[in-house]
Structure formats: C-alpha cells, structure tokens
Amino acid sequence: MELRVARKYRLGRRIGSGSFGDIYLGTNIITEEEIAIKLENIKTRHPQLQYESKLYTILAGGVGIPKVRWFGREGDYNVSVIDFGLAKKYRDVRTHKHIKYLENKKLTGTARYASINTHLGFEQSRRDDLESLGYMLIYFLKGKLPWQGLDAVNKKQKYERISNKKISTPVKTLCQGLPYEKKKHKKRHRKKEEKNQKETNDINKTHKKKHKIKKNNEEKQKHHHKKQLNTKKRGGGERERVDERGKEREKEKEKDREREKGKEKGGRKQKGGESEKNISPRKKFWSRERLPFQNKK
C-alpha cells in the first residue's frame, strides 16, 4: 500500500536516520518533485520537528536553507523535512553576551559528526559547528570516518568508543589522501581547540579556587557562629549558677534574720519576768516576806 503525507507527498525509501527520527525520500504526486520527509514518533521524550519548522521560517530565503513544504501530524508521527533542529543561540540577543560555559551535558545530535567537546559534555558553540562541518566534509570526500562501525553493547558504550577514537585519531591520519586545504583547516582547528581547552582549564581552575575560598569562608563563619552559640550557652549556665548561689545566700540571710528575731523575743521575756535560776541569792533573800520587826507600824 502506498503511504502518503498530507495527501500530497508519497513516502519512499529510507535514506537516513538521526538521533530524533528517520528521513525518507518523498515525491510530490502532482509535480513529481523529489523531497525529503522526516518522521518523528509523537511519543518521543524531546520532540524537535516543530522547533525545526520555526527555525526554517525564521531563516527562510537564506542560501542553503530548505523551504518548509509542510509540517504536521500523520497518525503516530510528526512530519517535517531535513534535520536542522539542534540550532540554538550562542549569545544573548539584547546584551550580545556569549552563552555560559557549562559541563556535564548530555550528547545531542548525531554521534558520528559530533565534536570532541560535545562527547566530553561541554556546552556547544560555533567551534563545535566548524568541527562537525569538517567531519561531514571528510565523510563526503572519503565515504567513511574512522569511528564508524564500532561494536558496542549499548548506546552509552558506543558513544564512549566513538569519543575515544576521535580523540586518539591524529589529523594526519584523518585527512590522509585529502587536499592540503582540508588538512590545514583541521590542524588549525585542533590548535585553536587546544588553546580554547587550555583557557577553559585555566577558567575552571580559577572557578574552583574561588569556590574553595568561598567554602572555607563559609566554614569559618559557621565555626564562629557555633562558637558564639556555645559561649552564650556557657554564659547562660553561669548566670543560672550565680542566680542559684544568690538564692541560697538570701535563704541563709533570711534564716539568720529569723534567728536574730527569735533571740530578741527571748531577751524580752527574760527582762519582763526573770526565772528563778537567773535570780541572785541576795535578791532572793530580800524578796522574802519581811520579818515582824521589819514591818513598820
């Protein structure tokens, strides 16, 4: 059965595939004009074709930019044309500042033509476009690249082997049998890449140093804050102990005052009516009843 897209384009044989979909040779059933049709499953995790169509619209009329004939959905697929969905801005439109340098990024694009920096997880920029373009031109001229056809258990291992092969392949071997200009281009690019890598390493060292200093300062601040808290806690404990001692002293003073009051009360009773024990014999004698001759008539 003949498969058609948008009731106008006949789907032919597959001519290529990428990380995000398959490309087929298509034909306009009215004009018999050959076109490229790209299919992307709607269940894909990160859809790209809609973004591609927007980019084509923005770049329309430029040299080498294909024209979007149609974009839409057919069954379980998003349908568009040539793979150009990974384009991105390398600088801010208003400030013209370059995008930030990032690391640990996942590989995006076709591993065969990806730059070494892309394999290493660095943020892509214009230098990576030039390197990828160089690999494509070598592929067109020689028909094969040294890292094609490598055996691997899974995709991750395959990407690692491709990356190692790219890094270990000298420019002389890569460009063997090619025009001198191509060899010169690759050598110049590698030297520039090495220089950029050195600058990147220096920047990374500076960032790491700053981060280390910042971390040390934060640790010092934490230690100082902890010390202050401990000092406050110790001060609070001492104050509590001082307060307890003061209370004990107050209690002792209160007891002393009570004792003194008791003594004063006892003294008053003795003055008011002295006990017989404390009365002297002389006083006892004269306190007796007087004799008859002592009584006054």
CA–CA gap between residue 10 and residue 2 (Å, rounded): 7
Query: How far, in Å, are 7, 39, 81 from residue 22 at the CA level?
Result: 20, 5, 10
Residue 102 dihedral angles phi and psi, to the nearest 5°:
-130, 160
Contact 86, 108 (CB under 8 A): yes
Query: How far, in Å, are 23, 57, 66, 113, 154 from residue 26 at the CA level?
Result: 9, 21, 15, 25, 32
Burial class of residue 79 in the structure, from the number of CB atoms within 10 Å of its CB (0-12 exposed, 13-18 middle, 19+ buried):
buried
Strands of 9-17's sheet in order across: 4-5, 9-17, 22-28, 34-41, 77-80, 72-74
Task: Report, in angstroms and rounded to the nearest whole number, the Rg of the chain calculated over CA atoms.
Answer: 50
Query: How far, in Å, are 255, 258, 262, 279, 284 from residue 266 at the CA level?
Result: 17, 12, 6, 17, 23
The dihedral region occupied by 96, where left means phi > 0, alpha psi between -120 and 50, and beta the remainder, is left
Smallest CA-to-CA distance from 82 within 5, 31, 18, 12 is with 18
271 annotated to bind ligand: no
DSSP 177: T
CA–CA gap between residue 96 and residue 128 (Å, rounded): 19
**Binding annotation:** 38
**Binding annotation for ATP:** 38
